Structure 1
Amino acid sequence: MKNKYVGPRDSLGHRKTKVVFVQLGSPKSPSTKDVRVFLKEFLADPRVVDINPLLWKIILNCFVLPFRPARSAKLYSRIWNGTSFPLIDNTVAFTDKVATHIKSDKVEVNHAFLLSSPTVAEVWDEWERELETSTSAATELLIIPMFPQYSESTIASGMDGFFANLKTRVQIPPFKFMTNFHRSKAFIDNSVIMIDEWLKSFKNAGNPSDILIISFHGIPKRRVIYKKDIYMRHCYETYFLLREKVKEIDSSKVIITFQSRFGSEEWLTPYTEDVVEELCSKGHKNISVYCPSFVADCLETIDEIGTELKETANEFGGDIQFIPCLNEEEKWCEDFAHFVENQCEAHAVDKARDFYYLKEEDYREMETPTMKSPPMSDNAKKSLKIVFFTLFLDLVGFSIIFPLFPALAKHYISVDGDNFFLTAIFSGIENLTLTGGAGKLESIVLFGGALGALYSLLQFVAAPIWGTISDRIGRRPVLLVSVFGLALSYLMWFFSGSFTTLILARFIGGIMGGNISTATAVVADVTTKENRSKGMATIGIAFALGFIIGPAMGGIMSMIDLTSYYPQLANYGVNPFSMAAGIAFVLSAFNLYFLYKNFDESLPEEKRGKIQTSERTFNPIALFKPLPFAGINITNFGHFFFLMAFSGMEFTLTFLAVERLSYSSMDNAYMFIFLGFVIALVQGGFVRRKAGQIGEKKVALLGLILLIPGLLAIGYASSTWLLYVGLFFLATGSSMAIPCLTTLVSLYTPSEQQGHSIGIFRSLGALARVIGPIIASIIYWKFGSSSPYVYGSAFLLIPIAMISMLPKPVK
């Protein structure tokens, strides 16, 4: 018969403590599948990556997990022994050896992993079973995360996992957490022994060390500066103690660095890799590296330091002498066992003797971290979230009409064919080209070109006007008025039984759509020069997501014809496309309410009327006036010619799909969704990470070149498969060209002229979106559906030649 749980022992010294050493863990195997599972759980922890959860979820699932696991799997395969990883084996062996050195019968040791087996939950389950079967089971817990220095991303993350486990438990014993042991004598003394032994072995082998690098795992500077994480202080305390006590190298040759950067944020410096490159370039041949952020060797030590950093040093004429972690060294295990016993059983004074202490003057060398690009203020973040949401909803409403163009054209030609404006579109083009065109049903592409050009022209004219007005009266009233106007335009579209009403709705919508300039101004208001690029990225993300979701909603809504359910609504102008218009109206109405309730004015009264608004102009002649900066004019005009060809494709694509493949509005929506996802993946997975390394000029050129096979594939597509091949090349090419050309404009321009140059760049882009659809529609109508794509691919040779002539930008 099993013994029942007997509760905590009495207070006469009969308590027993279960000590659990907690490590992070490793993947089950080096397969991409197992590494992806490991990384998904690890990187999803908000303590590990502490940015906006929704934004990080999008980045993680769309940009990180599709690409990083394959690369990480190759790295893990280099340290795989066929059945396990070093971190797992070392932790198990360490625990077993520590157990043999435990003298007290009131202390027992176990190990657990956060992301491997046995997990903390599994160890707890075993402890509960022990309580039921043994009267000598432990009744207290001491959790020791095996990370010597405290950090939110390690210790606090482990504590979160432990407390999450408590929610499912009934039997909860007294427990304690050891949050650091970076100054413990067991850790410091044995690290010194390990370093000295290896330095001596290098010397005996005829390769004495020039420099000893104490390399810690890095964290973003933001965590230390703004979140007050004490990790950096703990690292320096460990470094000071090690430097003081090592005997086999002069203390002046012992330096501190930080490794394992991730993402584009600024991390703690100096970076290990940069320091090694500099040292090797100066003639240091043998550089020893010890990593005291870890007590067990793992990927970050064996591969990152022992392999990758060694390769870097070799490239610069030096070499890395890797000093392993403490792992399962006998004396380390013995000393840590005594340390654990003392922490479980001794009085506070005796426990304190287990640690080294530093005086305040010992910290005089510790640098105060600073950031070249400081994070945004809370007010800036709030404003950017509102701007993001506003633009996102605006662009969903704007792009919801894209997949509907061909069906819209056929509808109005059949029900309002004699309309003045509709007739003017076709007869005007015929007069312009001095020849008769095909019948209206065969030339509906002119409809899309006209509406697209109209909307872009009105945005081109309205954007600088809205920007100037907002400089004088503030951003808030302009945003409220423009969003109200957009809602009104969608309401008019809802009741657009005639083509005249649709034209009027698009006219109002185009004018109000110029509020993008005001949203951009809000970003400039709330950010600094150092972090403005991060703020502007918000606008880019809003565009990308809006152009994915908008067409998808348009395609879905096209399947719901309100007049088929309520025929009498046709008397009020309701038409087969009113459902899409209704959704766009609801989104804009909500956007108006959201802005009214949440947006605080970003331009103080004392600054109104004092801002020089020379960045944008609606005078087309002024746009082509050369700017006095090397490379800037070629970039501007190359971008202009590129967008002419690309925007022409955008506005004729749905018509080609309908004509060639009999696509429905929903089929057209799928095309835009596919384009959006490919653009998001390429920009997030490749351009964001590699453009700076490869060079923006090279990436932009490659993007422009990739557009050519994309245009040709679409131009001759007679199947969905070939069409999507062309779409893939177009999405990939444009996602490489557009951001890199934008970056080149910024790189070629002095800091005090950034606004003016980028304003001209954007205005030329807007003008290209006016001209491109008109020219492409005329060519499509006059020479056939393949023509604008064939001519467009040839036309791209102009911007390709121009961008290839660019000088190397100075960064």
Structure 2
Amino acid sequence: MGDQNRSTNNNENGKISSTFYIVFISLLLDLLAFTMILPLLPSLLEHYRQNDTSGLYDWLLNKISYFQKFVGAPEQSSSVLFGGFLGSMFSFLQFVASPILGGISDVKGRKGVMVCCLIGIAFSYILWALSRNLVLFMVARFIGGLCKGNVSLSMAIISDVSSVKTRGMGMALVGIAFSLGFIIGPLIGAIFAMSTPKITGDWFVAPAIFAFFLSFVDLIFFAIFFQESLPKEKRSNDIWKSLRNAKALIDLRDLFWFQPVSDVKDHDLTKLRRLGVTYFVYLFIYSGLEFTLTFLTHHTFQYNSMQQGWMFFSIGLVMAIIQGSYVRRLPPHKITSTAVQGLWLIIPSFICVGLARQLWTLYLGLLLFAVSTALVVPCMMTMASFYGSPQEKGTVMGIFRSIGALARALGPIFASISFWALGSTFTYLSGALALLCPVLLLKNKV
């Protein structure tokens, strides 16, 4: 309790809580394990294509082939669409789990729920190591997706231990953890991809065990060093009220209406709802165009997997530099205006990418893309964290995270249809035009 009081006093004085750095390290370890599978997915899917005995791979590929033919995608894109299906499934599971876990943590405290999430994530990597067929691999991804509520819980913890002055830095640290995770994690995966034989044998066991090792270290580190950020006197005492999120998962109107959040003034609730819609529209368009970027660079510039890996490495590096040097130092009164500036930047970014026929145009678009992403996401998460009482911070951040996960689940599907049926230029230019909506919503605001 003394640690909690010291943390509270530090927040009131505008000082940085040590909990920020504990959350940062925990998220970084988690994201390193999570992202290292990304460069391995093509080889994993090829492995199961040749070795799956359950029949699930053939059944799923048959369904995906209908979609591939419907949108006019070439035959060789089936594996990419398969990977997109796995990514959408993972995001949809986050959409389901985040509000529930956030609501439970508002009643039971953050630490216990977070530890359960980390145990589930570690277990999913064990199942991956044992996955001799696609069924077990899908079960592993299913469990991992449900337990990914640790991200929204991390944001709720930041809200618990931060003041208005320091919350922006906390959210920026979350953004830096994501950037570094998506820089280093895929490189670790690429090392495994280059150093282990593919397709035959159980080549995936080594990277799966390493991912488990990272997640186990994360679990032990968090269990030892994290002090509960939501003291008992600030918790909700109504478990059923906190679990109204379940209804919001069935009725999307309740989700976007933030129905489970009751301890917020009407004026603030209206602004929170508008912010949720803004975030959904932004991520729906953004994630779809981000997903089709690999199609674009492959077909227009003949990028191979390694070149695409370096492309995303460069994007992540720019994001980490901006978030570490600029975003984390933003004063509270500049959070909203910075998010608006970032949204303005994403529009010319997608225009450049959509019209790119030369590398310099593509690189300019990707640079603007990286700068925009570094500004928008942490700033909008910071804005969301200002709403709700201490008893409902986990619920607010869980719903907000769930809205984002839903957008990431649906965006790639619609963008893929547009990309293959209407062309890359139309898709990116229409996406850039549609991104005026979140800009105007946020300007009129929040």
SS class of match (2:212): helix
* Whole-angstrom distance in 1 between the partners of 2:299 and 2:14: 52
Pick the structure with greater CA Rg: 1
* Whole-angstrom distance in 1 between the partners of 2:277 and 2:26: 31
Counterpart of 1:723 in structure 2 is 362
Is 2:28–2:180's contact at 8 Å kept on the other side of the alignment? yes
* Whole-angstrom distance in 1 between the partners of 2:368 and 2:69: 36
Go from structure 1 to structure 2 and tell me whether the alpha carbon gap of 1:475 and 1:666 turns closer, same or farther (over 3 Å shift).
Answer: same
* Whole-angstrom distance in 2 between the partners of 1:426 and 1:790: 32
* Whole-angstrom distance in 2 between the partners of 1:555 and 1:721: 26
Are 2:209 and 1:582 equivalent residues in the alignment?
Answer: yes
* Whole-angstrom distance in 1 between the partners of 2:381 and 2:316: 19
- Structure 1 position 410, deviation (Å): 4.9
* Whole-angstrom distance in 2 between the partners of 1:686 and 1:702: 14
Counterpart of 2:263 in structure 1 is none
- Structure 1 position 643, deviation (Å): 0.7
The structure with the largest strand share of the pair is: 1
Are 2:280 and 1:640 equivalent residues in the alignment?
Answer: yes
The structure with the largest helix share of the pair is: 2
Counterpart of 2:81 in structure 1 is 446
Give CA-to-partner distance per residue, 1:346-377, whole Å, 9 cap, x none. Answer: xxxxxxxxxxxxxxxxxxxxxxxx9953425x
* Whole-angstrom distance in 2 between the partners of 1:510 and 1:687: 29
Q: How does 1:460-499 map to 2 (within 5 A)?
A: 460-499=95-134
One-letter code aligned to 1:484: I
- Structure 1 position 770, deviation (Å): 1.6
Counterpart of 1:396 in structure 2 is 32
Is 1:556–1:666's contact at 8 Å kept on the other side of the alignment? no
* Whole-angstrom distance in 1 between the partners of 2:73 and 2:163: 55
* Whole-angstrom distance in 2 between the partners of 1:688 and 1:384: 12
Is 1:425–1:450's contact at 8 Å kept on the other side of the alignment? no
Counterpart of 1:516 in structure 2 is 151
Give CA-to-partner distance per residue, 1:231-261, whole Å, 9 cap, x none. Answer: xxxxxxxxxxxxxxxxxxxxxxxxxxxxxxx
Are 2:219 and 1:623 equivalent residues in the alignment?
Answer: no
Is 1:648–1:788's contact at 8 Å kept on the other side of the alignment? no
Counterpart of 2:262 in structure 1 is none
- Structure 1 position 671, deviation (Å): 2.0
Go from structure 1 to structure 2 and tell me whether the alpha carbon gap of 1:579 and 1:680 turns closer, same or farther (over 3 Å shift).
Answer: same
Counterpart of 1:741 in structure 2 is 380
* Whole-angstrom distance in 1 between the partners of 2:328 and 2:234: 34
One-letter code aligned to 2:195: I
- Structure 1 position 486, deviation (Å): 1.4
One-letter code aligned to 1:494: A
Counterpart of 1:317 in structure 2 is none
- Structure 1 position 483, deviation (Å): 1.7
**Equivalent residue in structure 1 for 2:314, among 674, 683, 705:** 674
* Whole-angstrom distance in 1 between the partners of 2:111 and 2:272: 33
Counterpart of 1:87 in structure 2 is none
Are 2:416 and 1:777 equivalent residues in the alignment?
Answer: yes
* Whole-angstrom distance in 1 between the partners of 2:223 and 2:385: 34
Q: Which runs of 4+ in 1 moved over 6 A?
A: 690-693, 750-754
One-letter code aligned to 2:28: F
Are 2:220 and 1:593 equivalent residues in the alignment?
Answer: yes
Aligned length: 424
One-letter code aligned to 2:143: I
One-letter code aligned to 1:624: F
Go from structure 1 to structure 2 and tell me whether the alpha carbon gap of 1:436 and 1:486 turns closer, same or farther (over 3 Å shift).
Answer: same
Is 2:98–2:401's contact at 8 Å kept on the other side of the alignment? no
SS class of match (1:494): helix
Are 2:412 and 1:800 equivalent residues in the alignment?
Answer: no
Go from structure 1 to structure 2 and tell me whether the alpha carbon gap of 1:710 and 1:556 turns closer, same or farther (over 3 Å shift).
Answer: farther
* Whole-angstrom distance in 2 between the partners of 1:690 and 1:603: 25
Are 2:21 and 1:385 equivalent residues in the alignment?
Answer: yes
Is 2:26–2:218's contact at 8 Å kept on the other side of the alignment? yes
One-letter code aligned to 1:610: N
* Whole-angstrom distance in 2 between the partners of 1:558 and 1:418: 25
SS class of match (2:15): coil
* Whole-angstrom distance in 2 between the partners of 1:766 and 1:624: 13
- Structure 1 position 555, deviation (Å): 2.5
- Structure 1 position 541, deviation (Å): 3.1
Is 2:31–2:181's contact at 8 Å kept on the other side of the alignment? yes
Go from structure 1 to structure 2 and tell me whether the alpha carbon gap of 1:483 and 1:753 turns closer, same or farther (over 3 Å shift).
Answer: closer
One-letter code aligned to 1:714: V
Give CA-to-partner distance per residue, 1:716-772, whole Å, 9 cap, x none. Answer: 54565443332111111222323343455567x587898366554433222211211
* Whole-angstrom distance in 2 between the partners of 1:410 and 1:711: 32
One-letter code aligned to 1:727: L
* Whole-angstrom distance in 2 between the partners of 1:402 and 1:675: 16
- Structure 1 position 527, deviation (Å): 4.8
- Structure 1 position 587, deviation (Å): 0.7
* Whole-angstrom distance in 2 between the partners of 1:418 and 1:484: 27
TM-score (norm: length of structure 2): 0.78
Counterpart of 2:60 in structure 1 is 424
Is 2:281–2:407's contact at 8 Å kept on the other side of the alignment? yes
One-letter code aligned to 1:621: R
* Whole-angstrom distance in 2 between the partners of 1:703 and 1:628: 26
- Structure 1 position 659, deviation (Å): 4.2
- Structure 1 position 622, deviation (Å): 0.8
Give CA-to-partner distance per residue, 1:491-532, whole Å, 9 cap, x none. Answer: 333344433333222111101111223333444454566655
Q: How does 1:168-183 map to 2 (within 5 A)?
A: none
Go from structure 1 to structure 2 and tell me whether the alpha carbon gap of 1:498 and 1:710 turns closer, same or farther (over 3 Å shift).
Answer: farther
Go from structure 1 to structure 2 and tell me whether the alpha carbon gap of 1:657 and 1:502 turns closer, same or farther (over 3 Å shift).
Answer: farther
**Equivalent residue in structure 2 for 1:654, among 288, 294, 302:** 294
- Structure 1 position 631, deviation (Å): 4.5
Is 1:449–1:776's contact at 8 Å kept on the other side of the alignment? no
- Structure 1 position 563, deviation (Å): 5.1
Go from structure 1 to structure 2 and tell me whether the alpha carbon gap of 1:784 and 1:559 turns closer, same or farther (over 3 Å shift).
Answer: farther
* Whole-angstrom distance in 2 between the partners of 1:473 and 1:634: 29
Are 2:342 and 1:703 equivalent residues in the alignment?
Answer: yes
TM-score (norm: length of structure 1): 0.46
Counterpart of 1:539 in structure 2 is 174
- Structure 1 position 391, deviation (Å): 1.3
Give CA-to-partner distance per residue, 1:558-595, whole Å, 9 cap, x none. Answer: 2122459xx6xx1xxx24x5544333222112222333
Give CA-to-partner distance per residue, 1:771-807, whole Å, 9 cap, x none. Answer: 1122223333444555543442232132233334x15
Go from structure 1 to structure 2 and tell me whether the alpha carbon gap of 1:526 and 1:401 turns closer, same or farther (over 3 Å shift).
Answer: same
* Whole-angstrom distance in 2 between the partners of 1:746 and 1:444: 38
Worse overlay, 659-668 or 513-522 = 659-668
* Whole-angstrom distance in 2 between the partners of 1:393 and 1:437: 39
**Equivalent residue in structure 2 for 1:765, among 401, 404, 410:** 404
- Structure 1 position 386, deviation (Å): 2.9
Go from structure 1 to structure 2 and tell me whether the alpha carbon gap of 1:773 and 1:537 turns closer, same or farther (over 3 Å shift).
Answer: same
Is 2:289–2:415's contact at 8 Å kept on the other side of the alignment? yes
* Whole-angstrom distance in 2 between the partners of 1:541 and 1:751: 26
Go from structure 1 to structure 2 and tell me whether the alpha carbon gap of 1:555 and 1:623 turns closer, same or farther (over 3 Å shift).
Answer: same
* Whole-angstrom distance in 1 between the partners of 2:411 and 2:288: 5
Go from structure 1 to structure 2 and tell me whether the alpha carbon gap of 1:414 and 1:721 turns closer, same or farther (over 3 Å shift).
Answer: farther
Worse overlay, 393-402 or 548-557 = 548-557
Go from structure 1 to structure 2 and tell me whether the alpha carbon gap of 1:697 and 1:400 turns closer, same or farther (over 3 Å shift).
Answer: same
Go from structure 1 to structure 2 and tell me whether the alpha carbon gap of 1:728 and 1:467 turns closer, same or farther (over 3 Å shift).
Answer: same
Q: Which has the higher contact order (CA 8 A, sep 6+)?
A: 2
Is 2:153–2:397's contact at 8 Å kept on the other side of the alignment? no
Unaligned runs of 5+ in 2: 1-5, 259-265
- Structure 1 position 608, deviation (Å): 5.9
